[in-house]
Structure 1
Amino acid sequence: MAIDLQAIERLATDQPSLKAAAGLAKPGKWSGIGASHDGHLIWGECAGSGANPYRVMADLRDLGNKCTCPSRKFPCKHVLALLWLRAEAVVPFGAADTPDWVSDWLGRRRTGAVAAKPATPGALAAAKDVRAALAVEPEAPEDPKAAARREAASAKRAEDTERAILDALDALEQWIGDQLRLGLGAFVDDATVRCRRIGARLVDGKAAMLAGRVDELPARLLALPSGDRARGAVVELGKLVLLARAFRASPRDTDIRRAVASAESREAVLVDPEALRLTATWEVLAEQVQTRRDGLVSQTTWLLNLGATGPRFAMLLDFFPASAGKRGSVFTPGEQFSGELVFYPGRLPLRALLINRSAVEAPAPEWPVPEAALAYTLSAPLLAEPWTIDVPVLLPGGRVAVDGTGRAWWRATEGDIVLPMAGEAEGLIRGTDLTRAAAIWSGGRLEILAAQTPWGRIGAHG
């Protein structure tokens, strides 16, 4: 079915929405574009500010539409951009089977409920105009004095922020000294209240990322066996001291600032010439969803690079308000796809953004062979960044067994390496011959994300 730009004008809520849609109506912003065999439905995934792209869909029969973005405008800029791509034939909309997420929406919606409203030609010309949205506005010449004032103000803000962070780090180190003086046993028993207090101080001092880390420290301690929590507290507090000292030594270091203050925006990473871009075949290992104390939900997707070059792992991290309810995922554990990722710059690139993805012609039957000795794989990231919490690792062949006390251990098939596991070993993961395993090494313990066995892939609780 056909659609023209006049219909998009009528559908848009205002001129800014059209302007934003024009910026998104570019092939590089989209993946997974398709249309139903009868041409009535179109859909696509548009890269947004989070790790997962927004799912966008529309019914051309009445211009009903849906997008998974949190915009309060209906339709949002993503819907308008999808319709724009169709109207201008910017990209091909290949006929395909309707995805489940489109079918679910179609089954819930009331046909005709959000059709475009008619408007007079004069009102359209005055309020919304596609030609105006496409027009490139000339940049006014910049006043040198205004530019100098703006740069001075920016430098002053940066200086104030750095000073606030340093003061907060002073308070953190004093607090850590107090915990050690009062005794680790008392700290472990009262960790939640004590960490919340210093976390609030760190937030006031512009050290938001560090505050979140401190706020989650009690949960990491409680995940350990009771007899191991004092040791875990020493490790956690020691890493905080190392991170504070590292920031004082190199306050402009990208990795350190990301761990203490805030991460770069998606837009900053995309335009950073030093950011690593890698196109490879990836396998989705697992997704971890955690509700944080600050009211946000973190959604972490772990990917394994099945190619021969580039970082072996990638971590897609997204945040959304817990009040928004359960959020669907665009990934399925075990699926493989070809995709381009851009990594946040750093010594050991790990966190990344997904630029585009497509289906693979033939899934890779096996995971790569570990590239280095296991002892080096576990220690190298900690030598580069001693404050690191989670280290993804590809394990060689081994088994998971439980000792007489009920504690689970992973043991290599070759050699005598034995590593303790976090939590309990449940399901097929226990006692099975694991030819490969992908895991997280954190706090001196392994958490297996997925593994390969002689009879196929299994998840952590498979």
Structure 2
Amino acid sequence: MAIDVTAVEQLATDQASLKAAAGLAKPGKWSGLGSSHDAALIWGECAGSGAHPYRVTADLRDLGSKCTCPSRKFPCKHALALLWMHAEAILPFPAADTPDWVVEWLGRRRPASGAPQPAPVASGVPGPSAKDLGAAREPEPAEDPTAAGRREAANARRADDTDRAILGALEALEQWIGDQLRLGLAGFIDDATARCRRIGARLVDGKAAALAGHVDELPARIWALPPGDRVRGATVELARLVMLARAFRAAPRDAELRRAVAAAERREALLDDPAALRITATWDVLAEQVRTRRDGLIAQTTWLLNLGDGPRFAMLLDFFPASTGRRGSAFVPGEQFVGDILFYPARAPLRALLVRREAGAIDGPPHDWPRPAAPLAELLTTPFLAEPWAAERPVLLPPGRVGIDQAGAPWWQPHGGTTPLPLAGEATGLMTGTDLTCTAALWSAHRLEILAAQSAWGRIGHG
């Protein structure tokens, strides 16, 4: 049974637990790892501060878990780390007979979960494994409708509690933004890291973990701007937070808004959604971005360009602990492949999952990129009208050229146009001075970050 890191993130009670779990998801911390023969259960022992390691187990069918540590959080950091290591395949979980302590836990939780359990092992005589019992197990009794109704009511109460917590956190965020404007943005910029950490902690406590991550990265985005643009950049960043908070209040059940504020849907839920947008096309790998976040996670983003019909771009986003080191990529910038992409629900679909990829290279020369079908002003403004709280959106630019001004700053300018756009970072090599027939870039409403471009000389990658 497969799980992903997103599912583990959603289990965490707060960001501190997730960060602590990332620190524990290391080979040197664990021993006795194993899994049941039907791959439903995993277990292991994690070294702690005492003389004896903590025993940790989890049921992958419903992500229930148990740990012998004294933590009052559920799941605790040890259970999160165990699930994380399984999701990321950091260590192997060899199939083995289920230990007695796991069998005992599974037996105690069966009345609540209905999960089947393996038989215990008699003294010196191996009993049948969970796999063997699968064929002989008696049918489960029909679920009590009264119990099902109570469970649904409990789920509804938890959902209402979560919504109230998020709305309270968003109210605190707007008050905090008002305080920053009242005190002056110059002071906010100088002290942005400490101030954003404080409100970020409040957002995590209010179950707005995704928004907390965005706020935590806000100082880095502001300080990446030239000094003269930082006040304007801070104004834009705070305005985006206000728009997102008010949009969530207006539609708290909107999947796209919940993804931006709370957490993304589980991968399994998206795969099981018959209404999810699925596109089969030829895709061009534009670029890969790997960034270490302040919470100890590494964000790996792969940008794809659709060479057929449907949404023009797809963003594949994955997270893994920084402690595991950089992982290899399944993509090479510049390659093209045929595959199925499944998009998360959104007004302008972008984040997606790769469902299927055809083996082998595409026959013949690489496919040309499509040309922009709208005026430049429309290309730059339309994505933000659909999602005004977005930090950046990909855009496909018409023919143009990158030049350097007298101050040494790089700009992109369309052929025959008089509206140059400033670039983030530096522009070197063939990227400067070459006629670019088509350029794929990220537009943040005030700066471009070039992903890749095409020219008469061929493809040019940025950086």
TM bucket by the smaller chain?
0.7 to 0.9
Q: 1:19 to 1:153 in 2, by over 3 A?
A: closer
1:130-161 C-alpha deviation (Å, 9 max, x unpaired):
x7668998453111111011011001001100
2:197 is matched by which residue type in structure 1? Answer: R
Alignment match, 1:192: 193
- Please show how residues 2-401 of structure 1 align to structure 2 within 5 Å: 14-17=36-39, 69-74=89-94, 126-127=128-129, 129=131, 138-307=139-308, 309-358=309-358, 359=360, 360-401=362-403
What's the CA shift for 1:231? Answer: 0.3
Query: Contact 2:35–2:41 at 8 Å: present in 1 too?
Result: no
Q: Is the 8 A contact 2:36 2:95 kept in 1?
A: no
Residues 268-288 of structure 1, C-alpha deviations (whole Å, 9 max, x = no match): 111112210011000110011
Kindly indicate whether the alpha-carbon contact (under 8 Å) linking 1:15 and 1:133 is maintained by their aligned counterparts in 2.
no
Within 2, Cα distance between the matches of 1:123 and 1:362? 63
Letter of the aligned partner of 1:321 in structure 2?
A: P
Structure 2: distance between partners of 1:261 and 1:185: 30
Label 1:147 to 1:425 Cα distance change in 2 as closer, same or farther (>3 A).
same
Cα drift, residue 325 of structure 1: 1.2
Cα deviations by residue, 1:76-97 (Å, 9 ceiling, x for unpaired): 9xxxxxxxxxxxxxxxxxxxxx
The equivalent position to 1:455 in structure 2, one of 443, 454, 457, is 457
Partners in 1 of 2:300 and 2:187 — Cα distance? 32
Instruction: Supply the AA of the counterpart residue of 2:397.
Output: L
SS at match of 1:354: strand
State whether residues 438 and 450 of structure 1, in contact with CA within 8 Å, keep that contact through their aligned partners in structure 2: yes
Segments of structure 2 that go 5 or more residues without pairing to the other structure are 1-33, 43-86, 97-123
Counterpart of 2:37, as a letter, is Q
Size of the alignment, in residue pairs?
359
SS, match of residue 16 in structure 1:
coil
In 1, the alpha carbon distance for the partners of 2:150 and 2:40 equals 33
Question: Partner amino acid for 2:244?
Answer: L
Against the structure 1 CA distance between its residues 250 and 333, is the aligned structure 2 distance closer, same or farther, given a 3 Å change threshold? same
Q: Bigger CA drift: 357-366 or 193-202?
A: 357-366
Structure 1 residues 206 and 365, CA, compared in 2 at 3 Å: closer, same or farther? Answer: same
CA–CA separation in structure 2 for the residues paired with 1:134 and 1:445: 61
Q: 1:271 to 1:387 in 2, by over 3 A?
A: same
Letter of the 2:36 counterpart:
D
Report the AA paired with residue 398 of structure 2: P
Deviations, residues 169-221 of structure 1 (Å, cap 9, x unaligned): 11101110110111110111111111011001000000001100000000100
Q: Report deviation, 1:432.
A: 1.1
Distance 1:354 1:143, change over 3 A: same
- Spell out, residue by residue over 1:233-283, the C-alpha distance to the aligned partner (whole angstroms, 9 max, x if none): 000001101111111111111111111111100011111122100110001
Distance 2:41 2:211 in 1: 38
CA contact (8 A) 1:18 1:133 kept: no
Structure 2 distance, partners of 1:217, 1:200, is 14
Give the CA deviation at 1:329.
0.8
Matches of 1:439 and 1:433, distance apart in 2: 16
Query: Structure 1 residues 18 and 144, CA, compared in 2 at 3 Å: closer, same or farther?
Result: closer
- The CA distance in 2 between the partners of 1:227 and 1:389, in whole Å, is 19
- Residues 1:310 and 1:136: Cα distance change in structure 2 (over 3 Å): farther
Distance 1:389 1:13, change over 3 A: closer
Q: 8 Å contact 2:307–2:367 — kept in the other structure?
A: no
Q: Answer whether contact 2:311 2:349 (CA < 8 A) is retained.
A: yes
Letter in 2 for 1:257: R
Residue identity opposite 1:142 in structure 2 = E
1:424 to 418, 423, 426: 426
For residues 414 and 136 of structure 2, the distance between their equivalents in structure 1, rounded to whole angstroms, comes to: 63
The letter for the 1-side match of 2:426 is E
Corresponding residue to 2:448 among 436, 443, 446: 446
Q: Measure, in 1, the Cα distance between the counterparts of 2:429 and 2:234.
A: 30
Q: 1:223 to 1:19 in 2, by over 3 A?
A: closer
**One-letter amino acid matched to 2:146:** K
Identity level (%): 64
Aligned positions of 1:398-413 closer than 5 A: 398-413=400-415
Give, in angstroms, the shift of residue 70 of structure 1.
Answer: 3.0
2: CA distance between counterparts of 1:459 and 1:137?
60
Map Cα deviations across residues 327-378 of structure 1 (whole Å, 9 max, x no partner): 1111111111110011001111100000110232234341111122221111
| Change beyond 3 A, Cα 1:75–1:68 | farther
Contact 2:380 2:445 in 1 (8 A): no
- The Cα of 1:123 is off from its aligned counterpart by 8.2
Q: Distance in 2 between matches of 1:136 and 1:267?
A: 27
